Amino acid sequence: MWRPAQRLRWNTEPGSWPSPEQAKDSLLFTPLRVGSLSFSSRIWVPAMVPWRASIDGFVTPENLEWYRRFAEGAPGVIVIEATGVRDVSSGALLRISDDKYIYGLSKIVEEVNRASGGRTRVFIQLIDFLAIKRRPEPSDFFSRFLVITDRHRENLNLLHADDAKVRELLASLPKQDLVQVLTPRELESLDMGYRERVTDINLPHIKELPQKLPALFARAAARAKEAGFDGIELHCAHAYTLASFLSQLNTREDGWGGSRENRVRLPLEVYHAVRQQVGMDYVVGCRFLTEEIITGSSTQHDAEFFALQFAQAGMDFLSLSRGGKFEDALQPKVKQAAYPYTGPSGYECMPQYISDETGPFGRNVRSTNDIRRVLRASGLCTPVVVAGGIYDFSTAESLLKTGVADFVGMARQSLADPDWAEKVRTGRGSQVRLCRYTNYCEALDARHEMVTCELWDRENLNEPGITKTGDGKRRLIPESDKKLPAIK
């Protein structure tokens, strides 16, 4: 993963933790109503893909165990991982692209409700993504993947040569010559692996996305509601389809790109289709970026505009993330796919403890604050979720008190200690296992391996009945906090 050149090391400093009475009086533990739903606290566990689904997208016992363990700590909300609305193969990621997935997903809802004693709301993040291929062996790229065109023949001065001859010559060229012969896009496919973009409107399935996606998301939303989820989060953040429509890099000239108004059209149409499907009293929100942090990308002014559009359209919450794009991803190894959290924008999304003068904590706070203020200045009271490097009570409480956000997201901190909320609520904050922001978990995610936390995955490996990775070296969930009072 990319890290800032300064290489400054940062440690967590949680300050003081509240007594049970102080926690009770805090904003963080004050219940909140959003639309028809009440929340027991403002602690939000953002979506985290754990790579535990079956290869064809079904919920597994490992998924159930994972979400049960988070729910035991009774946060206000758990957002279930990015779940695909289209039936495309994507490894061990959940899908909601067919009715056959409803049963398994309903079991997650049951587990969360039971384990949290009904104190945790459970949302599901709905995602669409475009194709990305692994970085090829150069020999495979030239012999099979590259489509030979007359432009290659002209550039090589081989006007009448057959494809085989052109391929053979291309494969023998050094990099500096290839740069003259291949297009930037072809070079990217060679160096990084082929990646579709929303601007590839020469491809019929990409051109048709605006016509196809609203119905796909709406059907997925209906399934989520049937499975019992309390709400839906539309994934309009990071490197995925809806975020790519919002991006300033979306230069489509067919009315779905270019101006901000055109770029926000598809996410809004998706939202309206979903809303029509699930009704007015069901919670529907979205996650999007305060800033993309890549060259030529959308800025916070774009995000302020999108926030207003989403809130005016009637979304029930806006969850703000940052960065996480393919455009600046590091080059993957041959036969591996590029990953959007490996470059500078990825760093902004999941900041690490080796950082710069700003440090890894709360890097998205200022932008989130500005966006929420724009909303409030327009008379819109849509709840806002902040996330990124937040781990302690004092910060969480002050973010709420100063009006930066209405919910405080803690992804990696919840992974390090799923009992955060319950420990803090019961005056045992000093027992919280603090995330070190090492991104060991994220490295597993990047390799599509089952995600665990280095602070607990080697503990008590001989404990009877625990589930472990296939090699037996890591446990899949942390030990239960046996000292927790029974859930009433």
Tell whether the torsion through CA atoms of 308, 310, 314 and 319 is positive or negative. negative
Question: Which of 277, 298, 368, 439 lies at the binding interface for ligand SF4 (CB under 6 A)?
Answer: 439
Q: Please, are residues 424 and 394 in contact by the beta-carbon 8 Å criterion?
A: no
Nearer to ligand FMN, 277 or 413 (CB): 413
When asked if residue 239 is in the footprint of ligand FMN (CB under 6 A), the reply is no
Chosen from ligand SF4, ligand FMN, none, partner binding at 440 (C-beta under 5 to 8 Å by type): ligand SF4
Size (the chain), residues: 488
CB of 459 to ligand FMN, least distance (A): 19
d(CA 18, CA 24): 9
Helices (H), 37-149: 61-72, 102-115, 138-140
Nearer to ligand SF4, 4 or 228 (CB): 4
Chosen from ligand FMN, ligand SF4, none, partner binding at 416 (C-beta under 5 to 8 Å by type): ligand SF4
When asked if residue 318 is in the footprint of ligand FMN (CB under 6 A), the reply is no
Question: Which of 243, 268, 315, 410 lies at the binding interface for ligand FMN (CB under 6 A)?
Answer: 410
Question: Cβ contacts of residue 352 below 8 Å, gap of 6+?
Answer: 1, 3, 360, 437, 438, 439
Question: Cβ contacts of residue 85 below 8 Å, gap of 6+?
Answer: 96, 97, 126, 127, 128, 213, 216, 217, 219, 220
Judged by CB under 6 A, the number of residues near ligand SF4 is 13
Q: Copy the structure tokens of residue 380.
A: 């819109």
Nearer to ligand SF4, 354 or 455 (CB): 455
Q: Interacting stretch for ligand FMN, rule CB under 6 A, among 184-192, 269-277, 325-333, 441-449?
A: 441-449
Question: Which of 237, 273, 303, 386 lies at the binding interface for ligand FMN (CB under 6 A)?
Answer: 237
CB of 391 to ligand FMN, least distance (A): 8
Q: Please, are residues 306 and 265 in contact by the beta-carbon 8 Å criterion?
A: no
Chosen from ligand FMN, ligand SF4, none, partner binding at 47 (C-beta under 5 to 8 Å by type): ligand FMN
Nearer to ligand FMN, 189 or 290 (CB): 290
Dihedrals phi, psi of 231, to nearest 5 degrees:
-175, 180
Q: Please, are residues 241 and 288 in contact by the beta-carbon 8 Å criterion?
A: no
The contact mask relative to ligand SF4 for 411-430 (x = CB under 6 A, - = no) is -x--xx--------------
Q: Please, are residues 222 and 90 in contact by the beta-carbon 8 Å criterion?
A: no
Question: Which of 197, 263, 436, 475 lies at the binding interface for ligand SF4 (CB under 6 A)?
Answer: 436
When asked if residue 388 is in the footprint of ligand FMN (CB under 6 A), the reply is yes
Nearer to ligand FMN, 116 or 414 (CB): 414
Q: Please, are residues 432 and 396 in contact by the beta-carbon 8 Å criterion?
A: no
Cα dihedral value 296, 300, 306, 307, nearest 10: 160
Site for ligand SF4 in 451-470 (CB under 6 A): 453-455
Q: Copy the structure tokens of residue 365.
A: 């706070």
Nearer to ligand FMN, 34 or 416 (CB): 416
Nearer to ligand SF4, 235 or 412 (CB): 412
Nearer to ligand FMN, 40 or 413 (CB): 413
Q: Please, are residues 128 and 86 in contact by the beta-carbon 8 Å criterion?
A: yes
Q: Please, are residues 306 and 374 in contact by the beta-carbon 8 Å criterion?
A: no
Q: Please, are residues 64 and 33 in contact by the beta-carbon 8 Å criterion?
A: no
Q: Please, are residues 262 and 315 in contact by the beta-carbon 8 Å criterion?
A: no
Chosen from ligand SF4, ligand FMN, none, partner binding at 125 (C-beta under 5 to 8 Å by type): ligand FMN
d(CA 22, CA 27): 10
When asked if residue 441 is in the footprint of ligand SF4 (CB under 6 A), the reply is yes
Nearer to ligand SF4, 250 or 352 (CB): 352
What H or E segment, with its residue span, contains residue 421? helix 420-425
Question: Which of 329, 442, 450, 455 lies at the binding interface for ligand FMN (CB under 6 A)?
Answer: 442
Question: Which of 12, 97, 125, 244 lies at the binding interface for ligand FMN (CB under 6 A)?
Answer: 125
CB of 349 to ligand SF4, least distance (A): 13
Nearer to ligand FMN, 231 or 409 (CB): 409
> What SS3 state is found at 241?
helix
When asked if residue 84 is in the footprint of ligand FMN (CB under 6 A), the reply is no
Dihedrals phi, psi of 320, to nearest 5 degrees:
-105, 125
d(CA 231, CA 43): 16
Helices (H), 141-264: 150-156, 163-172, 175-181, 184-192, 204-207, 209-227, 241-246, 260-263
Site for ligand SF4 in 385-414 (CB under 6 A): 412
d(CA 222, CA 128): 16
When asked if residue 349 is in the footprint of ligand SF4 (CB under 6 A), the reply is no
CB of 414 to ligand FMN, least distance (A): 8
CB of 252 to ligand FMN, least distance (A): 24
Nearer to ligand SF4, 112 or 416 (CB): 416
Q: Where on the chain is the footprint of ligand SF4 (CB under 6 A)?
A: 412, 415-416, 435-441, 453-455
Residue ranges binding ligand FMN (CB under 6 A): 46-49, 81-82, 125, 235, 237, 287, 321, 349-350, 387-390, 409-413, 441-442, 445, 451
